[in-house]
Structure 1
Amino acid sequence: MASQLKTLYEELGRAFYSKPTDLKKCSLLLPKLKLGLIEAGLLLPQSDVNLGDLVVARDILEVGAFVSIRTRDVPSFDRYFSQLQTFYTDYGESLPPSKREYPIRGLNLIRLLTQNRIADFHTTLESIDSDIINDNPFIRHPVNLERWLMEGSYSKVWNAREEAPAEEYKFFVDSLMGTIRNEIASCEEAAYESLPLKDAATLLFFTNQSELLTFAQKRGWQVDLSSSTITFKRTGEEKMEIPKQRLIAASLAYARELEQIV
């Protein structure tokens, strides 16, 4: 490995393991390191590459995956995960195990859930040994999330945030809760004309009123603080049409997912 690449790698390690992580410096170093990996033939390795260098390359990409989540850059995480597949599959038996592999695999599974890519979620899960699915907390966590989502057990999804096996998982659980809140809100708009603020907050899993008020403003709800109520301003025609369209769209999406799974 070139000395310059080794020096950058050591700098990345110091920045990543510092308390707190120096995300800005990591973000500056990672593009340079990826360019160095390309020049050294390590980003898309061939069979004659030194295994020690491959471990370093894998480590750089894994750090990049975690930095992507910590900086809320999901497309970047997707790219790092894609590049890591060669190391996890083609060189899985040649390289020593990585303690970051299953945390990253688990993050990818939750990422698929947040994008409602249920077929891809199950396809990805099929490539993981059943013993690992049952015993590894980083894989078991997204598996439980998917089951609770299918059951409609949203309170369990909410509680799962505090039970996340790694801090990075909370980012995707929060994203899931955003999707869930919008689904619940749509149901509230169709079912009620108004609700007490306290009841709306409970149904939407908000722990304080300011978060609820911000959400209500985005949805265009009318809030009356004097009476502590929220009014869902919808015309009678909209009440009839919106649920109908949503049911059709949901049915078509479900049919497509079933077709992909089969």
Structure 2
Amino acid sequence: MSLKNTHAALVKSFASSKPDLGSIKTQLTRAKIELTQSGLLVPSPADAAAHPSEVAMARDVLEIGALSSVRQRDVESFDRYMGLLHVFYNDCSTHLPPSQSQEALLGLCLLRLLSSNSISQFHTTLEALPPHLVASSPYIQHPVHLERWLMEGSYSKVWRARKEVPREEYSYFVDELMGTIRREIASCEEKAYDSLPLSDAATLLFFDNMQDVSVFANERGWQINPTTQTVHFTNKAGSATRDAIPKRATITSNLQFAKELESIV
């Protein structure tokens, strides 16, 4: 099968209303073999100038690979595809027609860094993007807003942003980001409280049901009293650490959580 036919079949499969990710993965493997054999998996600017349509098809294949990797929750595969696309976006871009997926994928890269708490790399990557793109693209603005809300501690805004993603693939990384936020909040709760009503803990941790709270509590080693519906935080560091926590810091933490709870409700 020629690259043109392989490309057409892959695009059609991915554009389906109910794409078969397993079949797409098989098609991607075949397409990458063809790209390797034709020397287009990592093209040079000269290749792009001489064969722009073929190099553009290669770019399409890798973009579908990156997007389908996110849908399959395979972050390592997503990183590999984005590493390959770097050549297309930076070295060959002047010879190729505009990509319909580039902005979305660049935004996903930023969101992936944010969800893994790689804040320094997030800013480095963001600063390397064209200013007009950062200012105008909804795909780039989405992770930019999320990062600002994180720095502000406006976690409720991050929570609401789950329903405002510019593409379905963004939902996965936003959920991963919420996991990072929950762990940070949980760490603060463990330092600031001995116990909390289970409903308050659920609200602070942005859980919709008590079953999710129970699972999270078990992962953290917390104890839930089913009679009083109270969660007790395990003091892993011992009483010396608890006594070392300044009263002023504890009061400040309590006030912060109270304000956050009020904003959520």
TM normalised by structure 2 equals 0.86
Distance 2:144 2:162 in 1: 14
Shift of 1:240: 5.5
1:145-177 Cα deviation digits (max 9, x unpaired): 111111111111111111111111111111111
Shift of 1:194: 0.7
Distance 1:182 1:241 in 2: 22
| Partner amino acid, structure 1, of 2:180 | T
Aligned residues: 241
Aligned residue number for residue 211 of structure 1: 212
Quote the RMSD (CA, aligned, Å).
Answer: 1.7
Asked whether the equivalents of residues 223 and 233 of structure 2 are also in contact (C-alpha less than 8 Å), the reply is: yes
Shift of 1:88: 1.1
Query: Which stretch shows the higher mean deviation, 188-197 or 122-131?
Result: 122-131
Aligned residue number for residue 50 of structure 1: 51
Asked whether the equivalents of residues 191 and 242 of structure 2 are also in contact (C-alpha less than 8 Å), the reply is: yes
Query: Which stretch shows the higher mean deviation, 119-128 or 34-43?
Result: 119-128
1:106-130 Cα deviation digits (max 9, x unpaired): 0000111122222221111122122
Aligned residue number for residue 132 of structure 2: 131
| Partner amino acid, structure 2, of 1:108 | C
Asked whether the equivalents of residues 10 and 27 of structure 2 are also in contact (C-alpha less than 8 Å), the reply is: yes
User: How do residues 19-168 of structure 1 correspond to structure 2 at under 5 angstroms?
Assistant: 19-46=17-44, 47-48=46-47, 49-168=50-169
Distance 1:18 1:125 in 2: 32
Shift of 1:135: 1.3
| Partner amino acid, structure 2, of 1:166 | R
Partner of 1:195, secondary structure, is: strand
> Which consecutive segments of 4 or more residues in structure 1 shift more than 6 A?
none
Query: Which stretch shows the higher mean deviation, 74-83 or 124-133?
Result: 124-133
| Partner amino acid, structure 1, of 2:213 | L
User: Using a 3 Å threshold, how does the CA distance of structure 1 residues 37 and 90 change in structure 2: closer, same or farther?
Assistant: same
1:166-218 Cα deviation digits (max 9, x unpaired): 11111111111101101111111111111001100010010111111110111
Shift of 1:242: 9.9
Query: Which stretch shows the higher mean deviation, 208-217 or 43-52?
Result: 43-52
Shift of 1:133: 1.0
| Partner amino acid, structure 1, of 2:3 | L
User: Using a 3 Å threshold, how does the CA distance of structure 1 residues 218 and 242 change in structure 2: closer, same or farther?
Assistant: farther
Distance 1:191 1:200 in 2: 12
Distance 2:241 2:9 in 1: 58
Aligned residue number for residue 196 of structure 1: 197
Shift of 1:241: 7.7
Aligned residue number for residue 239 of structure 2: 236
Query: Which stretch shows the higher mean deviation, 120-129 or 212-221?
Result: 120-129
Shift of 1:9: 2.2
Distance 2:72 2:168 in 1: 13
Distance 1:145 1:231 in 2: 31
| Partner amino acid, structure 1, of 2:10 | L
Aligned residue number for residue 251 of structure 1: none
| Partner amino acid, structure 2, of 1:130 | P
Query: Which stretch shows the higher mean deviation, 136-145 or 232-241?
Result: 232-241
User: Where does structure 1 lack aligned partners over 5 or more consecutive residues?
Assistant: 244-262
Aligned residue number for residue 246 of structure 1: none
| Partner amino acid, structure 2, of 1:30 | L
| Identity value in percent | 50
| Partner amino acid, structure 2, of 1:109 | L
Distance 2:199 2:73 in 1: 31
1:125-147 Cα deviation digits (max 9, x unpaired): 12212222111100001111111
